[in-house]
Structure formats: structure tokens, C-alpha cells
């Protein structure tokens, strides 16, 4: 189980590091915001699942899984909302909300 936890942890950290380096390398906030999605949909769940494998089943494991679910479920929506605000401030998207 520890080997699985270490592999998942390494994969999650690798996703986050690669996303961070790519976001630093690219220019413009609207392009950079796209690199938030892999962090919330891949990186955080991989790290959370590695914690589950490393610590076994307990109440704290349930809380970790709840947090991972909430981050994974809300991450893409938050990325879209942030991208919309950035596009509105740069004048790319209209200032009114979609209907």
C-alpha cells in the first residue's frame, strides 16, 4: 500500500509542478488560468487518494475524501468563473452575465 501511495503522491505533485511551470512560462492571465484545471482535477485528487492509501480508513480519511471531492467538483467551475472575469476585464467578453 505504501508503494501505491508514493506513486500517487509523486504523480499528483508532478501534475502540480508541471502546471505551475507552464503557467509561469506563458504570458497573459487568460492563458495562465487554463493551467489551474489540471491542479484541481488531477493533482489534488491524486494527492488525496495517496493520503487515503498511506493512512488507511478512518474518520480523517473520510474528511480527506470529502475535501478532495469538493475541490474536484468546484475546481472547473471556479476556473471558468475566473476566466470569465479576466476576459471581461480585458474587454474580450461582454460585461453582462450570460442568460
Q: What is the pLDDT of residues 29-55, one digit of tens each?
A: 888 888 888 898 999 999 999 999 998
Local confidence band at 98 (pLDDT 50, 70, 90 cut-offs): low
Q: Evaluate if residue 21 carries a pLDDT over 90.
A: yes
Q: Evaluate if residue 99 carries a pLDDT over 80.
A: no
Residue closest to 5 by CA, chosen among 49, 38, 35: 49
State the average pLDDT for the chain: 88
CA terminus-to-terminus distance, the chain: 49
Do the beta carbons of residue 51 and residue 62 sit within 8 Å?
no
* Burial of residue 88, with CB atoms counted within 10 A of its CB: 0-12 exposed, 13-18 middle, 19 or more buried: middle
Q: Which pLDDT belongs to residue 63?
A: 92
* CA gap 49, 57 in Å, rounded: 11
Amino acid at each position: 500500500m505504501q508503494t501505491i501511495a508514493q506513486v500517487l503522491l509523486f504523480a499528483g505533485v508532478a501534475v502540480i509542478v508541471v502546471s505551475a511551470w507552464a503557467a509561469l512560462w506563458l504570458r497573459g492571465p487568460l492563458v495562465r488560468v487554463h493551467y489551474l484545471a489540471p491542479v484541481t482535477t488531477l493533482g489534488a485528487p491524486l494527492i488525496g487518494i495517496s493520503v487515503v492509501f498511506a493512512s488507511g480508513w478512518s474518520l480523517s480519511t473520510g474528511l480527506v475524501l470529502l475535501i478532495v471531492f469538493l475541490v474536484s467538483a468546484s475546481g472547473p467551475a471556479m476556473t471558468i468563473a475566473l476566466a470569465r472575469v479576466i476576459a471581461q476585464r480585458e474587454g474580450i467578453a461582454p460585461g453582462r452575465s450570460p442568460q
